[in-house]
Chains A and B, each alone.
Chain A
Amino acid sequence: MGSDPAKIKAEALSDFSKFIGPMKVRTMKAAGLDIIEDKREGASVWDITGKKYIDCQTGSGIMNVGRRNPDIIDALKKALDTYDIGVFLLCSKPKADLAKKLAEITPGDLKCTIFGVGGGEANDAAIKIARGYTMKKEIIYAEKAYHGHTGFALSAIGRDAYKEPFEPLIPGFKMVPFGDIEAIKKTITDDTAAIILEPIQGEGGINIPPDEYLPAVRKLCDDHEILLILDEIQTGFGRTGRMFASEHWGVVPDIMTVAKSLGGGIYPISATIFKEEIQDFFIPHPFIHLSTFGGSDLGCIVGMAVIDYIQKHNLLDHTEKMGRKFRAGFDSLLKEYPSLLLEVRQKGLMMGLQYTNESIGPRLTKKMAERGVIAIYTGNDPSICRLMPPLVITPEEVDFVLNALNDSMKELSKEAGLGKND
């Protein structure tokens, strides 16, 4: 293989197609996103051919502190002088340090942690803990929910297409509409162990619940001795302008799951954080849920560096400011392109653009890619574009994204097929 970037790219795409999956390459090419990531910095990523993109997808929110954040890289490099992954059965200082830090920064009396590698694993652990602790079986979850593709988490996904080929799944899972407290009331039984929700649905289309919803769910859980699991995997670590989205509504779950940005885009790690009384389940079963790579020493050191960075650089305030700047731009787009843009859903830098029909999402994704912005429609609904840039995005980069949106919409508004999608 030579050093010609175009040739390297072509070979990489060809090998990816042959050895990983042809439809992935085909889909990415069609969307103008057949990018081979090369240099990464802040809110930007460069294709191997040199084209620069502002990354508003960020692996659905794993890069809150920016891509290849130098502080996080330094922490990992320094850790490598001493540490490796560690032996999962043994106790470790980095694990203890991060668990203690998570207890400090999570709301209310969340205190104890089980570490994992990814978000699905964290939700698996949460659901297992809920069943084990309550000795009840039923789990209530929401339509359009996304909790990961592993066993228990998959059973709680609110999208049939992810589940149907693998049925029968784990029994005892009951789906309700998101945001509908009455539906939960009707679904609760004496055997309900937990309700699992995202405070704001990400994959589902940036669905923000009514203000009274989460507090009402909390009260229902208290009244019926049901555990509340909040999945903050996309919403956590400052994404919405608070350290955790549940803080917007003053709700403390019994179990919180976090992942994605805890690893700073550098090293995978997840955590299932729960109240102290739930620890009683583990006293007689200390080794009932294990993860070889979960909470590795290196991952825990990276997690600590991420939290330190967010706090030291006031990223929550910056997120609020950049969120307001985006909002002002979105308001102009709403006025300028009412035939394309129906609604904006936003908390901080968790943003969703609801288009007027489902053909627009894929088409705008392609046009944005042409203009140097990675902004992809959600899997659950192609009429919604999810924007989750790094929280370190600069005002100039926000303007760049907004200008790309404006230019893309201007071009699209002159094209065919914007009527009813039938």
Chain B
Amino acid sequence: MATSQDILEALADYQVQCNENQRLRKMQRDWSKLLHFVAEDTGDKFTMNVVKGEIISFESGTNGTPDIIVTTTSENFCDMFWGDLNPSQKYLQGEIRVKASQEDVVRLDAITMIIWPDA
């Protein structure tokens, strides 16, 4: 089980990885979404705001009306944001659940592929 602080640290690294990747930024420049992350084992929740492909903020708690809701365990969130697990695999095992359009599900997977091609 991961703490809220663990997830926030992983999110901070994920933000850097995404925002410093120019290929990803260019690819995602038409993508502006509000994401909610729900850790089902701890009840911790987080909000991430992506504007034109840039993660402009993330914070504890859920704010606004999300375009995408990702639900999994706190441990999976940490592993996912550190690039230590393949989210597609976990999604297909039912361990990660995504409430979003199919296009956004593919976008999330594309981000992973660009940042961690070997994940």
Residue B9 CB within 8 A of the other chain: no
Minimum CB distance partner of A378 in chain B: B102
Whole-angstrom CA separation of A31 from B93 in the bound complex:
11
Q: Are A366 and B113 in contact (CB under 8 A)?
A: no
User: Which of the 9-residue segments A53-61, A104-112, A292-300, A410-418 touches chain B?
Assistant: A410-418
Write out the residue numbers on chain A whose beta carbons fall within 8 Å of the beta carbon of B105: 382
Out of A27, A379, A416, name the residue touching B94 (CB < 8 Å): A416
| Given A417-B97, A421-B97, A422-B69, A23 and B106 contact (CB-CB distance below 8 Å) | yes
| Given A23-B106, A23-B109, A23-B113, A30 and B92 contact (CB-CB distance below 8 Å) | yes
Q: Are B97 and A422 in contact (CB under 8 A)?
A: yes
Residue B22 CB within 8 A of the other chain: no
Q: Are A379 and B97 in contact (CB under 8 A)?
A: no
| Given A161-B103, A382-B102, A421-B97, A26 and B88 contact (CB-CB distance below 8 Å) | yes
Q: Are A415 and B101 in contact (CB under 8 A)?
A: no
The residues in B between 90 and 119 inclusive whose CB is less than 8 angstroms from any CB of A are: 91-99, 101-103, 105-106, 109-110, 113
Residue B5 CB within 8 A of the other chain: no
Out of B92, B94, B110, name the residue touching A23 (CB < 8 Å): B110
Write out the residue numbers on chain A whose beta carbons fall within 8 Å of the beta carbon of B91: 30, 359, 362
Write out the residue numbers on chain A whose beta carbons fall within 8 Å of the beta carbon of B102: 161, 379-382
| Given A22-B113, A27-B106, A165-B30, A422 and B92 contact (CB-CB distance below 8 Å) | no
Write out the residue numbers on chain A whose beta carbons fall within 8 Å of the beta carbon of B30: 165
Whole-angstrom CA separation of A362 from B30 in the bound complex:
26
B interface residue numbers (CB < 8 A to A): 30, 38, 69, 71, 88-89, 91-99, 101-103, 105-106, 109-110, 113
Residue A363 CB within 8 A of the other chain: yes
Whole-angstrom CA separation of A379 from B101 in the bound complex:
10
| Given A26-B113, A359-B94, A415-B94, A422 and B99 contact (CB-CB distance below 8 Å) | yes
How many A-B pairs fall under 8 Å by CB? 56
| Given A27-B106, A30-B88, A422-B71, A416 and B95 contact (CB-CB distance below 8 Å) | yes
Distance (whole angstroms) from the CB of B76 to the closest CB of chain A: 11
Minimum CB distance partner of A357 in chain B: B97
Q: Are A27 and B109 in contact (CB under 8 A)?
A: yes
A interface residue numbers (CB < 8 A to B): 22-23, 26-27, 30-31, 161, 165, 358-359, 362-363, 366, 379-382, 412, 415-418, 421-422
Distance (whole angstroms) from the CB of B47 to the closest CB of chain A: 15
| Given A23-B109, A422-B69, A415 and B89 contact (CB-CB distance below 8 Å) | no
| Given A26-B113, A165-B30, A421-B97, A362 and B106 contact (CB-CB distance below 8 Å) | no
Write out the residue numbers on chain B whose beta carbons fall within 8 Å of the beta carbon of A381: 102
Q: Are A161 and B101 in contact (CB under 8 A)?
A: yes
Whole-angstrom CA separation of A165 from B30 in the bound complex:
9
Q: With A363-B92, A416-B95, A422-B38 given, can you name 16 additional A-B contacts, CB distance below 8 Å?
A: A23-B110, A26-B109, A27-B106, A30-B91, A30-B109, A161-B103, A359-B91, A362-B91, A379-B102, A380-B102, A412-B94, A417-B94, A417-B96, A421-B98, A421-B99, A422-B69
Write out the residue numbers on chain B whose beta carbons fall within 8 Å of the beta carbon of A165: 30
Write out the residue numbers on chain A whose beta carbons fall within 8 Å of the beta carbon of B96: 417
Out of B38, B89, B97, B110, name the residue touching A30 (CB < 8 Å): B89
Distance (whole angstroms) from the CB of A327 to the closest CB of chain B: 28
Whole-angstrom CA separation of A415 from B105 in the bound complex:
21
Minimum CB distance partner of A29 in chain B: B88
Write out the residue numbers on chain B whose beta carbons fall within 8 Å of the beta carbon of A362: 91-92
Whole-angstrom CA separation of A161 from B104 in the bound complex:
10
Write out the residue numbers on chain B whose beta carbons fall within 8 Å of the beta carbon of A379: 102
Minimum CB distance partner of A23 in chain B: B110
The 7 A-B residue pairs with the shortest CB-CB distance, nearest first, are A417-B94, A30-B88, A161-B103, A422-B99, A416-B94, A415-B94, A417-B97
Whole-angstrom CA separation of A145 from B91 in the bound complex:
28
Write out the residue numbers on chain B whose beta carbons fall within 8 Å of the beta carbon of A23: 106, 109-110, 113
Distance (whole angstroms) from the CB of B108 to the closest CB of chain A: 12
Q: Are B110 and A366 in contact (CB under 8 A)?
A: no
Write out the residue numbers on chain B whose beta carbons fall within 8 Å of the beta carbon of A421: 97-99
Q: Are B109 and A359 in contact (CB under 8 A)?
A: no
Whole-angstrom CA separation of A382 from B106 in the bound complex:
12
Write out the residue numbers on chain A whose beta carbons fall within 8 Å of the beta carbon of B113: 22-23, 26
Write out the residue numbers on chain A whose beta carbons fall within 8 Å of the beta carbon of B71: 422
Q: Are B93 and A415 in contact (CB under 8 A)?
A: yes
Whole-angstrom CA separation of A217 from B98 in the bound complex:
38
Write out the residue numbers on chain B whose beta carbons fall within 8 Å of the beta carbon of A363: 92-94
Minimum CB distance partner of B72 in chain A: A417
User: Most A CB atoms within 10 A — which of B89, B102, B106?
Assistant: B102
Whole-angstrom CA separation of A208 from B91 in the bound complex:
30
Minimum CB distance partner of A365 in chain B: B92
Whole-angstrom CA separation of A25 from B88 in the bound complex:
13
User: Most B CB atoms within 10 A — which of A362, A366, A381, A415?
Assistant: A362
A-B contacts, 25 listed (Cβ < 8 Å): A23-B106, A23-B110, A26-B88, A26-B109, A26-B113, A31-B92, A161-B101, A161-B102, A165-B30, A358-B99, A359-B98, A363-B92, A363-B93, A363-B94, A415-B93, A415-B94, A416-B94, A417-B94, A417-B95, A417-B96, A421-B97, A422-B38, A422-B71, A422-B97, A422-B99
